[in-house]
Amino acid sequence: MTTKIEAEPKVVKRFLGYLSPFKLPFVVAILGLLGFSTIDAAVISQLQPMIDVGLKDADSNFLRIAAYAIVPIFIVRGLFNFMGTYTLRWISSQVVMKMRQQLFEKYIHLPVEFHDHQSAGALISKVTFDTEQVANAAGKAFLTLIKEGAFVIGLLVVMFYNSWQLSAIFLIIAPVVAIIVSVVSKRFRKVSKAIQKAMGSLTTGVEQAVKGHKVVLMFGGQKLEADKFKKTNNHNRQQTMKLANTQILSVSTIQVIASIALAFVLFLASTPSMLQELSAGVFTTIVFSMIALLKPLKQITTVNNEFQKGMAACASIFEVLDKSEEQDSGTKTIVKAKGNLIFDDVSFTYPTKDTPALKNISFAVETGQTVALVGRSGSGKSTLSNLLTRFYEPDSGSILLDGSPLSDINLKSLRKQFALVSQQVTLFNDTVANNIAYGCDASISREDIIKAAEIAHVSEFVSEQKDGFDTIVGENGVTLSGGQRQRIAIARAILADAPILILDEATSALDTESEKFIQQALDELQKSRTNIVIAHRLSTIESADLILVVEQGEIIERGTHAELIAKDGIYAQLHQMQFSQS
């Protein structure tokens, strides 16, 4: 509990750090809002002379001056309002833009382990919903706090100037209001955190249903998804209503307290001694000021809601921003590796698992050789590629590239040594050409892209498109078939021209005819590279220099195709099973 209380001032201080580059605009905004509120208070202050001098004493000159002055005063008031409101909105938009940029850049620099345990919906919600709460804190909250706060002070000055005896009641109710605001603030923070979590779940639910729309339709899961969303949606509504309930009760309580003060003033004004001292103008000014105080007091209480929601959102955002980025201890830079790989007694367990994914794995791959990994799903084959590209670090043992431990090599240059084609193809909502050339430097020409596309048989279906290589493929290639997406991924790997090629079920989504062409291209591509091939179809790896049969994270068989067939073990059984089915 102590930690939370100590952390809150730190969150506020850190949030204010985002505002520090805008000191000058902030001063302009404050001056504008103070000018706006001062004019309002000044207009109310003129009620007393207008009644006592203008009306009671029938001073037509005073009323005429007031008539001439009112329009220019309100023009100036409008200019002050624009100056303050626009500047604060500009500051809040700058703060939110910076936060969103920081969050996005943090996401793309965080390790794979972080993203493996976070839902995309929750992360998106932080960039959209949470930052919007911060915008309200930076803009709306400060706007109301300064404008209404200055107006309250102005009204109190007017009241005390006209009659300190009647106005002194506010010295009594001010501490009571402060206590209510303090109690309500804690409640707002707690409920706001729950709302942010609920919004993350809500976004995740929508994202899953939209992305899995075909599965939902195919298996008749509409009611199941609707019920799940209804439950999440209702939870979000309940949290929002808790916040609204707290806000309404706090505002009503403060207004009741203010009304008690007003009643006390009226009662005090009714006493004979006060009736003799008070003029009609003074009494009207005091009562009008007290009534006018009700709205800003309500606004200030409401703004506390916005500010607390903003601070809860800030805490959520700062939690991500404080996460450690992917560690890169490597200092060695490689331009182009030879492709010699050694796994030396490597073991690895995923952070959230108890069972090791790999146990004491050892094998070597010479430059230009092809090593194939076969085995059941979940046996640990794909984990090897995760370790090669240092998405994860081994728990024990070492992996060497051309004699150097992977941990000694700079991450950026290490990953440039690998071209990865997996069964899960990721395409961006961009053109076919840009997807093929993704990550390549500016020296890559259009001709290079087309050449890679031809080798991977991408040109065959691209030529049918109206915009050719400039065709937008949609989010994750939604407009393409599975085989077409995989061909683009293969073209991307061909263009990368990396010395080591990792093929993780690279032809799994292709039809028989396409697979034949692609396999020919891959065979040609593999001649000058070191290749790690993960495959279910054993027919595609019969020519591999070394085949490793992996079972529950261990290598249980190794050898060439002929040697393993001769052993008549697991590999031979798998081969016979696939051959008999074909």
Q: pLDDT (tens digit, 9 = 90+) per residue, 436-458? A: 888 787 778 888 888 888 888 88
Domain termination residue (choose one: 266, 291, 321): 321
What is the CATH classification number for the domain harbouring 407? 3.40.50.300
The pLDDT assigned to 349 comes to 92
Task: Classify the phi-psi angles of 439: left when phi > 0, otherwise alpha if psi is within -120 to 50, otherwise beta.
Answer: left
What is the CATH classification number for the domain harbouring 243? 1.20.1560.10
Of residues 314 and 298, more confidence is placed in: 314
Output DSSP code: residue 561.
H
Distance set, CA 196 to CA 174, 232, 376, 403, 535 (Å): 32, 12, 40, 49, 43
Q: Is residue 423 part of a domain?
A: no
Global pTM exceeds 0.95: no
Q: What is the mean pLDDT of the chain?
A: 80
Instruction: Please check whether residues 167 and 266 belong to one and the same domain.
Output: yes
Where does the pLDDT of residue 7 fall: very low under 50, low under 70, confident under 90, or very high at 90 and above? very low
pLDDT surpassing 60 at residue 230: yes
The most confident of 146-150, 264-268, 304-308, 522-526, by mean pLDDT: 146-150
Beta-carbon count within 10 A of 380 CB: 22
SS3 string of 114-149?
HHHCCCHHHHHHHHHHHHHHHHHHHHHHHHHHHHHH
Instruction: Please check whether residues 286 and 369 belong to one and the same domain.
Output: no
Total domain count, the chain = 2
Instruction: Please check whether residues 282 and 337 belong to one and the same domain.
Output: no
Q: What's the rounded mean pLDDT across residues 339-360?
A: 89
The pLDDT assigned to 396 comes to 92
Q: Which range (207-216, 317-326, 382-391, 490-499) has the least confidence?
A: 207-216
Instruction: Please check whether residues 83 and 122 belong to one and the same domain.
Output: yes
Q: Is residue 527 part of a domain?
A: no
Instruction: Please check whether residues 271 and 334 belong to one and the same domain.
Output: no
b/e map 438-467, b = 16+ CB within 10 Å: bebeeebeeebbbebbebbbbbebbeeeee
Where does the pLDDT of residue 399 fall: very low under 50, low under 70, confident under 90, or very high at 90 and above? very high
Instruction: Please check whether residues 382 and 334 belong to one and the same domain.
Output: yes
The pLDDT assigned to 3 comes to 33
Distance set, CA 496 to CA 96, 415, 444, 501 (Å): 37, 11, 10, 10
Beta-carbon count within 10 A of 31 CB: 14
Q: Which two tokens stand for residue 462?
A: 């691209």
Q: Which two tokens stand for residue 580?
A: 């008999």
Domain termination residue (choose one: 321, 356, 377): 321
Kind plus residue range of the DSSP H or E element containing 460: helix 459-462
Instruction: Please check whether residues 384 and 272 belong to one and the same domain.
Output: no
Instruction: Please check whether residues 305 and 380 belong to one and the same domain.
Output: no
Q: Which residue has the tokens 């529950």?
A: 552
CA distance 376 to 409: 32
Distance set, CA 318 to CA 119, 123, 207 (Å): 18, 13, 24
Nearest to 431 by CA among 488, 473, 377, 374: 473
Q: Is residue 436 part of a domain?
A: no
Strand partners, 502: 420, 532
The H-assigned helical ranges of 326-401 are: 381-388
Q: Is residue 105 part of a domain?
A: yes
Q: Which residue has the tokens 């509990």?
A: 1
Where does the pLDDT of residue 193 fall: very low under 50, low under 70, confident under 90, or very high at 90 and above? low
Kind plus residue range of the DSSP H or E element containing 209: helix 169-211
pLDDT surpassing 80 at residue 104: yes
Instruction: Please check whether residues 75 and 121 belong to one and the same domain.
Output: yes
Instruction: Please check whether residues 126 and 14 belong to one and the same domain.
Output: yes
Domain termination residue (choose one: 287, 321, 355): 321
CA distance 19 to 220: 51
CA distance 300 to 37: 14
Q: Is residue 518 part of a domain?
A: no
Q: Is residue 498 part of a domain?
A: no
Q: Is residue 53 part of a domain?
A: yes
pLDDT surpassing 60 at residue 581: no
Where does the pLDDT of residue 76 fall: very low under 50, low under 70, confident under 90, or very high at 90 and above? very high
Distance set, CA 388 to CA 42, 332, 411, 501, 502 (Å): 73, 16, 11, 11, 9
Q: Is residue 504 part of a domain?
A: no
Farthest-apart Cα atoms in the chain, separation = 121
CA distance 30 to 22: 12
End-to-end CA distance of the chain: 65
Instruction: Please check whether residues 336 and 227 belong to one and the same domain.
Output: no
Instruction: Please check whether residues 43 and 129 belong to one and the same domain.
Output: yes
Domain holding 372, by residue range, is 329-414+533-582
Q: Which two tokens stand for residue 277?
A: 């001292």
Sheet holding 530-534, edge to edge: 418-422, 500-504, 530-534, 370-374, 546-551, 554-559
